[in-house]
Structure 1
Amino acid sequence: MAIILFGGIGKRLGSKIPKQFLKIRDRYLMEYTIEKFYSLRTVDKVLVVSNKNWMKKTREILKDKNIEIIEGGNSREESTYKALKYISNFAESDDIILIHDGVRPFVSERIINENISLARKFGAVITVVPSENTMVISRDGRKLDAVPKRDLLYIVQTPQSFKFGLIYNAFKKEEKNLSYYTDDASILKAQGMEIYFVEGSKLNIKITTKEDLIIAEQLCSMQF
């Protein structure tokens, strides 16, 4: 099952509407992302988590698809937890749950299927790509404090995928501390769980800025 998170408001993009409702080549960005999961036989159900102020618009766009839609929370992790609690009514402990950023519309079938396969094997996986750039650490944002070895650094993408029992129990244990975390795997890692890698792709971009939208327009015109 795929949980697709659409809780953003487009602040960094400078848009008056959330990014998922922007159109790229006459289709909503939301539609591109959902279709990647909805069309796969390996994904049996799609749950969309929507910004609470945009539920009506989300339902309107997805009215022709057999997709469940719930209201999100005030943060990414709160939204994920609401989704996990919702599916706890019918999910089995070993069911594979994929959690994906809704504004990553170019995730590939290969990445999705490898997430499912490796999550079945290991229980918890994240999608990553190696960092090609040198990264630095600065404690005050003004001067360089350290330069970590580049071959140790990876950029995290989504999906992040887990056996349902593992991720749901982890969230329940950290329910009062969710604001400390910025992604789902870190909650499991804090409890000592091993997290394995799925190879991501440079094309699996997150639409965050106006420059990203320009790239998205070009990607939509390509066949890949």
Structure 2
Amino acid sequence: MSVAALIVAAGRGSRAGEGTPKQYRDLQGQSVLTRTIAGFLSHPGVDRILIVIHPDDRDLYEASIAAFAPLPSALLPCVHGGDTRQDSVRNGLEALTISDPDIVLVHDAARPFASPELIDRAIEAARRWDAAVPGTPVTDTIKVIGPQSEVVSTPDRATLRAVQTPQAFRFASLLDAHRKAASAGLHDFTDDGALAEWAELPVHVFEGESGNIKLTHPADFMEAERRLKGSPMRYITKLGTGFDVHAFGDGDHVWLGGIKVPHDRGVIAHSDGDVILHALTDAILGALADGDIGTHFPPSDPQWRGASSDHFLAHAVNLVRERGGIVDHLDTTLLCERPRLGPHREAMRQRITEIAGLRLDQVSLKATTTEKLGFTGRSEGIAAQAAATIRLPEVNP
């Protein structure tokens, strides 16, 4: 059975930072795209390779394939992509109709580490089924959330897979599915497996690879460089602190640690006034040296009026992970005479772990009074101080 690889390289890669599109950035003397193409050109089971590029990237593309001069016959002339990834894949599939392969492997240009064994499994999966995608087990607990960041459900991790490329299909089946989606006015499928599901093709999952990373954020490129050098990623520990205070006002509850706590007062605040989550957010931002909560969520912006502080903490944690970092520990001390923390401590810890995607042993929560001294001692307000320990990839080893 003939096999074609369709490599999608038409994106702009804005999350990787400013400058050259990520698929053309240098990795140890070769562009990402050059390395990705090389993996398929060298595979004996792949007969044809077609690259879909952005119309503005012709010079970058030509520079990337110059490494293969004289150009092998297996490398077909490139085609231009469309407005969406789905449109780009369809353009590539239409161009492949001339060679009419039996199997097509659709792969992201920004995944340069697909191994020969992974490509073998993809080809075999397409021979066995009409549609198949590589997947790796999910190690983190996943939460399905509602519009107010409330947890709706917790899927069983054993049934979940993180999907990668190359995704493998019978060529005729995938082309037909793409044409049907375009005719239906659908253009925003970001994954060919999902489009195949929409077209009611049974989609199977075969074994992916943890090393088949997609280069998305700057930290991914640092990891790729280290990998090619044969050295492991090294991390440095950062510590940040945070403090927040709110005056009491009218109301019958306060929000603390993501939990609604009954109280004879409320707090005066632009958002929900959760001092614990605000302090934790600032602690993480401090460890990142990335401003404070007011920088990211200005109180002058009406969209944050009454907002759940879950959003603030989740945003700060996501910034760490976008940089390839790890949140190690969160520690908070609540300062007030009332309400008492004890009855709600474990519920708050659990809620913080859900928001931040951590284990329970990574979240500490304490409380103290100020011995009737100061504004907290006079029950005029409530405060919290926090510390966050994170690890970030070392930029200059």
78, 83, 87: which one aligns with 2:87: 78
Aligned to 1:45: 48
1:141 Cα deviation after fit: 6.3
For residues 62-77 of structure 1, the aligned pairs below 5 Å read: 62-63=65-66, 64=69, 65-66=71-72, 67=75, 68-77=77-86
C-alpha deviations, 1:23-55, integer Å up to 9, x for none?
A: 111111111111100111110111011111101
Letter in 2 for 1:161: A
Q: Using the TM superposition, name which of 139-148 and 56-65 deviates more.
A: 139-148
Percent identity between the aligned chains? 29
Aligned ranges for residues 97-136 of structure 1 at < 5 Å? 97-136=104-143
DSSP-derived class of the 1:151 partner: helix
- The equivalent residue for 1:169 is 176
Does residue 22 of the first structure (1) align with residue 25 of the second (2)? yes
CA RMSD of aligned residues (A): 1.5
Matched-pair contact (CA < 8 Å) for 1:111–1:198: no
CA distances 1:98-137 after superposition (whole Å, capped 9, x unpaired): 0000000111100101110120111211011010110111
Q: 1:56 corresponds to which residue?
A: 59
| 2:203 matched residue in structure 1 | 195
Q: State the partner residue of 2:99.
A: 90
SS of the residue corresponding to residue 158 of structure 1 reads coil
SS in 1 for 2:164: strand
Gapped regions of structure 1 (runs ≥ 5): none
Q: Distance in 1 between matches of 2:31 and 2:199?
A: 38
Amino acid in the other structure paired with 1:196: H
In 1: Cα distance, 2:12 partner to 2:174 partner = 26
In structure 2, distance between residues paired with 1:178 and 1:3: 21
Is this contact kept in 2: 1:59–1:69, CA < 8 A? no
- Equivalent position to 1:10, from 13, 22, 33: 13
Structure 1 pair 213–71 and aligned structure 2 pair: CA distance change class (3 A): same
| In 1, Cα distance between equivalents of 2:135 and 2:148 | 25
Give distance in 2, aligned partners of 1:8 and 1:191. Answer: 24
* Cα offset, 1:90, TM superposition: 2.6
TM-score normalized by the length of structure 2: 0.54
Superposed CA deviations along residues 153-185 of structure 1, whole A, max 9, x for unmatched, are 110000001111110111111114332422111
Contact 2:24 2:64 in 1 (8 A): no
Deviations 1:189-214 (A, max 9, x none): 12221111120111000000011011
Residue 230 of structure 2 aligns to which amino acid in structure 1?
Answer: M
Equivalent position amino acid for 1:182 in 2? T
8 Å Cα contact 2:23-2:32 kept in structure 1 = yes
Q: Which has the greater radius of gyration?
A: 2
Question: What runs of 5+ residues in structure 2 fail to find an aligned partner?
Answer: 232-397
- Counterpart in the other structure of 2:219: 211
| Paired AA for residue 34 in structure 2 | E
Letter in 2 for 1:79: S
Q: What is the total number of aligned residue pairs between the two structures?
A: 221
With a CA cutoff of 8 Å and minimum separation of 6, indicate the structure with the bigger relative contact order.
Answer: 1
Is residue 2:140 matched to residue 1:137? no
Q: CA distance change for structure 1 residues 158 and 141 in 2, over 3 Å: closer, same or farther?
A: farther
Q: Which residue of 2 aligns with 1:178?
A: 186
Provide TM-score, normalisation by structure 1: 0.93
**AA aligned opposite 1:84:** L
How far apart are residue 70 of structure 1 and its match? 1.1
Indicate the structure with greater strand content. Answer: 2
